[in-house]
Structure formats: structure tokens, C-alpha cells
Structure 1
Amino acid sequence: MSAPEMPFMERMTSSEARAHTRAALIPLCESLPPDRARRLLEDALLVVSELVGNALNHGGGVNHFCTREQDGEFVVEIGDRSSVPPRTIPYDPSVPGGFGWLMVHSLSRSVTVRHHEEGKIIIAVLDGVSYS
């Protein structure tokens, strides 16, 4: 079973993005063992929350949102209006934050950034929709 593409909503919040992601993943997770389904859902929700939060806080808002199953993997695409690439900031325990981009990379099989005229789209691919 393939997940429906989730529609883009202007002014999407992190909460709305998580709800769309959960709705897309529920049917896909039904064929997975419970522990694998839970991990995929948790990982996807964390990645989506982080990327949408970054788009809202640093990128001028979300201008693209899509989740889909592709070749046994779960793909998340989130775009914003900034052409500035995401970056990892040096660790400083006295400064809050700075862990999100590393977390997105650690929870995803691959992460790519595609630049275009209206900003950028970050594509995160998570393993585990198919189970053999």
C-alpha cells in the first residue's frame, strides 16, 4: 500500500505537519512489526517537526511539504523561502539548540538539500516502510 501525498498548506505549523505525517504513516506501518512501526513513526515525526520548525524559525516559512512512500522508504520533503543552507553549529553548552540538523541526519538514511528560485527543499529519506 502506498501513502497518499499529503497536500501543502500555506502557513503550516509543526503540529499540522506531524498530523499529516502520522496520517500518511499509519497505513504503511500496519504491515510492520510493532517495534519497527513505532520507531519509524517516532523518527519521521521528529524529522518533520525539526525541519518544519527550522523552516518557520530560519527560512521564512514553509513553502513546500510532501510525504510519500517510495521504493520501501518514507520520504519527507520540506521547503522554505531561504537560500541559506542548513548548518551544524559548533557545540556550546551555554547556548540552547544546535542539535536539530545533526538529529535529522542521524534519524534519516539520507538527507539532501535542493536549491531553487524560491528557496530550498530538504529531502529526508527514512528506512523501513517495507519489511521482509
Structure 2
Amino acid sequence: MAVSATYPCDDDRIARARAATREFLARTATVFPGTVSRHAEEAAQLVVSELVTNARKYAPGPSHLTLTRTAEAVHVTVEDTSPHLPRPHGTDPLRPGQHGLEIVVALCRALDVRRAAAGKRVTAVLDLTQPRAA
């Protein structure tokens, strides 16, 4: 199952993307056996929030969110208009900000960043069946 949405350049896109993630996981629960833990649901919303926030901060124009669900995982893909590929910084508790990609890497089992036709595509794969130790 999958769902996609394009968000314009506004401050509401992060809240709308988080809400779309909650609704998507609730809807897919009828198709996939078992339940998504509260921890996994919150982690999925955090991953979406971080990736959409990065798109809002660093890319002009709209961003496109796609959520794809399997029995064990949710794939979160955010496409934006910036050709610059993000990379996680080393851990630095004194650095103000720029910890979003570090959070995504800590929560997810995989992260794929690549250029796309009109910018870049970032895909994170989050396990739903068991929490990942950070």
C-alpha cells in the first residue's frame, strides 16, 4: 500500500505530513496483520517530520512525500527541488541544529539519498515490527 502527497512551500506542510503518516498507518492496519506499536508510529512521524523539515529549510519549491507500507516496514520518501545531497554530520552535542538526518539514521534500518530529475529523493526505511536501538 502507498500514499503520496505534494506540499507547497508553507509552514503547515510538516504538520500535514505527520497527520498523513498517522492516518496512513491506521488505514494500513486493516491490511497487515498485527499492530503498529505506539513507538513505531511515533518514530515514523518523527522521520517524516525531519525529512519534510529538511526539504522546507533547504529546498525552494514544493516537496513530495510518499509512504509505502509492507508488513514489516514503512518506506518514507521525500522528494524536493534541491540538487544538494544531505549527509549526516558527526555527533556533536554542542552543535546547534542540523541533527535531523542523524535522528533519521538512528531510527531507520536504511537511508538512500540520490539525485532525481528535478532535485533529490531521500528514502528512509523504518521497521514497524521491532524498535531499533539508537
Higher mean alpha-carbon deviation, 75-84 vs 9-18, is at 9-18
One-letter amino acid of the counterpart of residue 10, structure 1 = P
What is the deviation of 1:29? 4.6
SS of aligned partner of 2:125? strand
Alpha-carbon distance in structure 2 between the residues aligned to 1:129 and 1:10: 32
One-letter amino acid of the counterpart of residue 6, structure 2 = F
Does the CA contact (< 8 Å) of 1:69 and 1:129 recur in 2? Answer: no
Aligned positions of 1:7-86 closer than 5 A: 7-11=5-9, 13-29=13-29, 31-33=33-35, 37-70=37-70, 72-86=72-86
Alpha-carbon distance in structure 1 between the residues aligned to 2:39 and 2:34: 10
Uncovered stretches (5+) of structure 1, i.e. residues with no partner: none
| TM-score of the pair, normalised by structure 1 | 0.81
Alpha-carbon distance in structure 2 between the residues aligned to 1:72 and 1:88: 25
Higher mean alpha-carbon deviation, 56-65 vs 36-45, is at 56-65
Change in Cα spacing, 1:26 to 1:110, as seen in structure 2 (3 Å) is: same
Change in Cα spacing, 1:69 to 1:99, as seen in structure 2 (3 Å) is: same
RMSD: 2.3
Give deviations 1:88-121, integer Å, cap 9, x for gaps.
335261x411211110011111010121221101
SS of aligned partner of 2:9? coil
Number of matched pairs: 125
SS of aligned partner of 2:43? helix
Does the CA contact (< 8 Å) of 1:111 and 1:122 recur in 2? Answer: yes
What is the deviation of 1:68? 1.5
Uncovered stretches (5+) of structure 2, i.e. residues with no partner: none
Identity %: 31
Alpha-carbon distance in structure 2 between the residues aligned to 1:103 and 1:119: 22
Residue of structure 1 equivalent to 2:3: 5
Does the CA contact (< 8 Å) of 1:5 and 1:67 recur in 2? Answer: yes
Does the CA contact (< 8 Å) of 1:29 and 1:129 recur in 2? Answer: no
